[in-house]
Amino acid sequence: MLLKVKDIENIMEEYAPSILKESYDNVGLMIGESAENVTKILVALDCTMDVIREAKNKGCNFILTHHPLLFVKPKTITTDTLVGRKVIELIKNGINVYSSHTNLDSVKGGLNDIVTEILGFSKYKIIEMSETNDSGKTDAGIGRLVILDEPMRFESLCENVKRTLKAEFIRVVGKDDKLVNTIAIINGSGEDFFSESIKLGADCIITGDTKYHGACDLLEQNIALIDAGHFKTEWIPFKVFIEKFKKQLIKDGYDNEVIISKCTFDPYKIK
């Protein structure tokens, strides 16, 4: 059975409805034609030029990403901008791009749930419920709050995060011997949810992309922080989701190859 772009759109919309996205976000089919047949599917966190070249080299005419290629609406599509060059290259080569971002973070079974479970926690609740109530997904929202049955030393929690997310390094705020009782987990960039997490009783926050002043504020409030990086808190859980996606393709009768990008990596490196 031939897989069409629209079939992938339907699978993704069923799993993570676009209506669950945050108001600032842009999700769905970024570039392409819904009626087009799909050859191979390349999975990446971001649609970079390297990923586009990889798709061409591997015969993939569909790229599935977490981060939207068109996050901010461009004023022009020309070779004068990086986004313009990407869009032109994709269209020239007949490559479709679909992105599932904060809707996939938010939904039950999405990235927030996956990263929480990867870290070893099975009982948790949502930090900020989705504002959308007509999606049929009543248990969706950003961030997960874990209330531990027994307190955990901050040092042990740091070691667990570093090991399970395969992080070369993490940035932390807090004393090693601090006893953690309630953990807020927000994959990607979670600083906007610090206040709500603290209101809900979090005495430790695990996320990425934190800034100096936010870290200082947490320190003053005796709230521990583990910044494992934007990449690590999203790429690993995204790949876990892709296994679910592949199973759904097979269940629906499609045998298209799904390839994990070799060109997706953390842009930061340690000197």
Residues 136 and 208 in one domain: yes
Residue 101 known to bind ligand: no
Whether the pLDDT of residue 131 is over 80: the answer is: no
- Beta carbons of 184 and 127 less than 8 angstroms apart: yes
Whether the pLDDT of residue 224 is over 90: the answer is: yes
- pLDDT for the residue numbered 13: 96
Whether the pLDDT of residue 135 is over 80: the answer is: no
Residues 14 and 93 in one domain: yes
- pLDDT for the residue numbered 248: 97
pLDDT, the chain, mean: 95
Residue 105 known to bind ligand: yes
Residues 87 and 187 in one domain: no
Residue 67 known to bind ligand: yes
pLDDT tens per residue, range 101-120:
999 999 999 999 999 999 99
Residue 234 known to bind ligand: yes
Residues 111 and 210 in one domain: yes
Residue 159 known to bind ligand: no
First to last CA, the chain: 50
Whether the pLDDT of residue 32 is over 70: the answer is: yes
- pLDDT for the residue numbered 132: 66
- Report the CATH number at residue 150: 3.40.1390.30
Residues contacting 58, CB < 8 A, separation 6+: 40, 42, 259
